Amino acid sequence: MKKLFVVMLCLTALAPAVARTNSTPGDASAVSLTSKRDLAQEEKNRALVVEFYTEVLGNRRVDLADKYLSVDYIQHNPYAATGREAFVAFFRELFSRYPQSEHRIIRTATDGDLVYLHVFARNDPTERGRAVMDILRVDNGKIVEHWDVVQPIPETSANANGMF
């Protein structure tokens, strides 16, 4: 019992130190695990990101990018350059090369100024597609930063759970 008490005391002492993630310029804003969340603002951010994804990627309306993206939009995908104009050029080329591409949001989540999207994507209807996890940071009604992780959907799986 004494050992359990000591362990619990140590964990309690460490909690404030780990309750906040490190944040540096260009990284997502740190969100305190103990801070009060502004769920109304998070919902506005989610709606903005879903509308952006639906209009710009789903409907291929890259001409609307200035409505959603900041001029100095930060891109962390190593295959795309930073900046709103670079985003437009990247997706114009992609949509030209793959006119039947599909980007479908499966689920969303928010945490502070971050919006998470779990997405099914494919370049054409004949391929299996990819599972994508997009993270977008919103500031003052504009998307200012983006990270993603992309995983091809395999032909076979070690489990029957699926990727979505």
Condensed to tens digits (0 to 9), the pLDDT of residues 88-99 reads: 999 999 999 999
Percentage of the residues of the chain whose pLDDT score is greater than 70: 79
Condensed to tens digits (0 to 9), the pLDDT of residues 4-34 reads: 444 444 444 444 443 434 445 455 555 556 5
Say if strands 142-152 and 69-75 run parallel, antiparallel, or are unpaired.
Answer: parallel
Task: Give the per-residue pLDDT at 28.
Answer: 53
Mean pLDDT score across all residues of the chain: 87
* Mean pLDDT of all residues in 72-93: 97
* CATH code, 38-152: 3.10.450.50
- pLDDT exceeds 60 at position 49: yes
